[in-house]
Amino acid sequence: MKILFFGDVIGRPGREAVKKILPKLKEKFQPNLIIINGENLAHGTGLSSKTTKEMFDAGVNLITGGNHSFKNEDGLKLLDNPQTPIIRPLNYPSNMPGRGSIKLEVMNQSVIVFNLVGQAFMKDDVANPFKAAQEFIRENSKSSKIIILDWHAEATSEKIAMGKLVDGQISAVFGTHTHVPTADWEITKKGTAFVSDVGMCGVKDSVIGVEKTLILKHFLEEEPVKFELAQGDVVINAVSLTVDDKNGKAIKFEKINELVS
């Protein structure tokens, strides 16, 4: 099984760049499953019918989320639609829209993808992600050999700790949220692919996808500013993962860093 996973796709620039580069990456990596983190699809905050349709039409199979998943009214309807392959973090309260995991049939093989959000330096009141991960794996490990986690968290220590907790129990832990790719990607001795943060699909000359002059003004003047997305060449941060269908262990893990003009 070959899986292509894109870090946070930031607004229109990110969407357009993903659409542009996908044919090239599909030819090179021959993925069976394409996943993006889409919590920032709609102008950098939340998702919408239009933006998700763009991604699905481009060949994306699944959209995962994070703390911005609930920020767009149109997106809430998508989360509640069981026919739409979109998930949000599992450890939000059960009365929130959407679901935290999905089981897909890919090439006659079951693949389970689940989503968690961290607690460290995050504002939302969510259940303990470590306990949620343990419970989820315990309940689902017999349903599929291939289990993927989109781990949407701020602190690298919290992200690494999750990797240690689930090591050898699932196929991969893909960190998202900070928009900055980390250098710790590896396949562990127990066969789990791990990276603290995949990065983003957003404008390179920016501050995590946002117009840099606004962020500099915010820090220099210490006053709130209205964030606007940057424009320009887009960096594509993604990973390609190959998993052994028989045991769900990661066998090849490649980092993707491309610039799209």
Residue at 64 is within a domain: yes
Q: What is the pLDDT of residue 149?
A: 99
Average pLDDT taken over every residue of the chain: 97
Under DSSP, is residue 188 helix (H, G, I), strand (E, B) or coil? coil
Distances (CA, A) of 198 to 29, 57, 93: 17, 23, 26
199 in a domain, yes or no? yes
Q: What is the pLDDT of residue 44?
A: 86
**Could you tell me if residue 214 is inside a domain?**
no
pLDDT at 204: 98
Q: Helix (H, G, I), strand (E, B), or coil: what is residue 54?
A: helix
Flag whether 226 is in a domain: no
pLDDT at 124: 93
- Say if 215 falls within a structural domain: no
CA distances to 62, 83, 87, 99, 255 from 96, in Å: 20, 17, 12, 9, 34
Q: Say what the pLDDT of residue 138 is.
A: 97
- Exactly one of 43, 68, 177, 179 is catalytic; which is it? 68
The domain total for the chain is: 1
Q: Is residue 184 part of a domain?
A: yes
43 is catalytic: no
The angle formed by the CA atoms of residues 121, 127 and 130, to the nearest 5 degrees, is 80
CA distance 145 to 64: 20
- Per-block mean pLDDT, blocks of 10 residues, the chain (261 long): 98 98 98 98 93 98 97 91 96 96 96 98 96 98 96 98 98 98 98 98 98 96 93 98 97 98 96
The domain containing residue 254 runs over which residues? Answer: 2-203+232-260
CATH number at residue 14: 3.60.21.10
Domain-embedded: residue 218: no
- Asked if residue 166 belongs to a domain, the reply is yes
